[in-house]
Structure 1
């Protein structure tokens, strides 16, 4: 299927824009979030909050804005596809935080907010007067979400962190890759996306407390902690005595059988979760003798017999096309799937039916992935296109009751600077 055909199929979705803040829907519709983050983890967190109805005001540096705006090609409109994928349903305000006027405007904006999300380095936060102790004293109701590479405490709390470094340091890369090969990064922004999810969950919990007691909270979320959470079962197994794992091509799960196999034309995966499923799997493959084998009746036994068992299964699966095995195994109630490419994923009937890919209503060629949750109270998914850099600056400043002269000064200063890191 061509790219044009894929986009045409995805484009059958009809999403409802939510450009008017007063018409926001969802459980967080009365929440204002000031977003000082850049790159990917922070913007992902605030996008999920915006999807749930929050008014997210994205504060960006003059000239360049969020780093991710330049993370291309490909570009869709004025920014990269990566940027577009994490910044729908937000408003963009440009402030020169190196100027007194910009800093004062930021503090006025924070005074109207319920939540602040940031990923600045500690020294810069303090120099701007937006570090947690300072803002806690001034705005005790504010929920302050600090996103970082390694957390707010510990010897490396001030070190910058990116997805790649977190995957490496958490041990995630050490178990990823082909059998006998070198460690590999999971080839997506895994740490960033998961950290964004964790931050959104924690902020929502803090909002509940805020609404009950009127008190704010400090939310400390890091890439390393999120990746450690992903590694929780492997860490637990290792500390319980399992040998230290290494890249295995996905063949070393605690479950047997739980891995990819090569069919006659392409790879499939098979996931055997219990002993009854194992029996049905053997029946489907025509390996009934394994059902009666006492050494294979339990998962523990099958793990011990992997060196003999896996080649026998592989020899059987490679004799038929993947589609035939998937049909047989689905009929037998055995979880399985073809290993799909992205060209197949975007036209997958389940993905299409669930409206999981949303066409950007302004930027041709951009599709974002719907948040991984569905709420009956939000039947029409908000899908406002990512904001142009600074497109909402004047509107937001007017909401802060600034005078025309004050707004003009802030805008002129911001427009006259290129910004700095």
Structure 2
């Protein structure tokens, strides 16, 4: 089949949540289909990977956007009562390239990854000129409008007003998508439930994430020298939920752990650390690494992996990766949501500052228990989080007749 796959960011390298999912979907579809890829690039470092993607697909069109300038430009959408996210990820230059593909290729399927990419279908002058109707699939991933509701609850002042605005108008846009596309994809049953609270949509399918079980493996050598015992958090560190969660952990939980284990070190591992994250290094025992070539070096050396997110949507890949490495994970109920793991056997959940600290201290005091939970965690992801198994539903949706 000829499939047009539109992504809001380059689906490579698979080094953050959305790119991990889009890359694995791309790899799955390439095996049996003719893929044409259309992407935006908002990180200049990703330009180096264009040639690699071009070699993998039948056709590839892309455009770059300058993030800071684009954010200022998108403030105009506030006056038009339209989603800021949709404006940010829209490029008229990319639209022309996509329309040129529509003009010369009779696509069987269009698959949009993330809600703003639907705009390229809505604005296309060629979408209704095809010799046969296309199957239209939208991977919403998470319910992004609800994410903005969560942001607004944590914000104050002007930010709070803007976040409420975005939640409202992005929800309207999600409704438009649900009424247009043949199939909607969400990452978990929890996200599906949230979506159905706002709109009765019979065309929702859950396609959960996976993890590369060969890459993230307990057999990875622990050759990297870091101070121990080590607590490790991994993630892109200019992303607000990561910033908020890590700051909460350092400011409210880490001192409780150090009172029991004065030698413990907390490694914050991830690219683009915001100023709030850099400032945390003033706290004794906190190390901010910035970008690292391979997060497995730190995961392999971790005594405990912590995921203290209080704002979380969908499936947390950082949890799956740590579990795949055979590491015990302590996380919040918010970050745990959607993950098929048994609490206290395959993962530890804790909500309050005191209970979170107590859970980490208990694992540090009882390495045999920590090892057992890590081993069970690995078995859990082997059972539930194979990309190959979880993406097979796409085979059915690609062929399903259009209603």
* TM-score for the superposition, normalised by structure 1: 0.30
- Which one scores higher on RCO, CA 8 angstroms, separation ≥ 6? 1
Larger radius of gyration: 1
